[in-house]
Amino acid sequence: MADGYTFSIPNIMGIDSIDDIARAILKTAPDHFVMAGMSAGVSIALAVVQRLIGDNRLHRLEKIILIAGNPFGTSPQKQQYFDCQKNFVAEYGIEQYAKQVLIKNVANPHQIDVNISQKIIHMATTFTPESFEKHTHMLKTRPCYTDTLKRIPCPLLAISGADDKLCPPTLHDTMATLAQNGTHITLQNTGHYINLENPTALNTHMRTFLDT
């Protein structure tokens, strides 16, 4: 994906408000851009859209890609789940959290590729206890973006993993249906970590969407 495209990835580590993250992204974004978000990044991408709508500058967004995410707000039950995650990390550490919790979100955790498991652990251990707590707070307090999706006029691509337990394909059907020009693609034998489990298919679909 690197050839032919310029990527802008601002440092948002430690920010615990989705709206503040959206504001930080727009500070460095070019006048016209494509937005992509994965997992929690889907909520962040939609927060950027919401801010563009509020500023009457939605024309800046040319296309949007939403991967393995959830457009809905966090329910009370899910808030309790995030509290349990935070408590687990506080007691056992982030590496054990990655090994015992995060790895279970792949398509087949009993036959996980060692390379993928190592990448998941490495990804998790970039968090400090403080930044993980802020990340959890951000997830607990995220709003619902269904109304925002309805106002997106540009092409939208939602990509899901068929075996994603955290953000199943039905959520991506919803995103694609609510958007004015949405498409949903599901990748088979793929869990939540689409970029690690099925990177070739992900890149192929993203490039096709961008080049169309």
pLDDT averaged per 10 residues in sequence order, the chain, 212 residues: 73 80 91 95 97 96 98 93 93 95 90 92 91 90 96 98 96 98 97 96 96 92
The answer to whether the pTM exceeds 0.85 is yes
* The pLDDT of residue 10: 72
* The pLDDT of residue 1: 60
Report d(CA 75, CA 4) in Å as an integer: 40
Report d(CA 144, CA 71) in Å as an integer: 6
Report d(CA 88, CA 82) in Å as an integer: 10
* The pLDDT of residue 4: 72
In the block, residue with structure tokens 């793929």 = 190
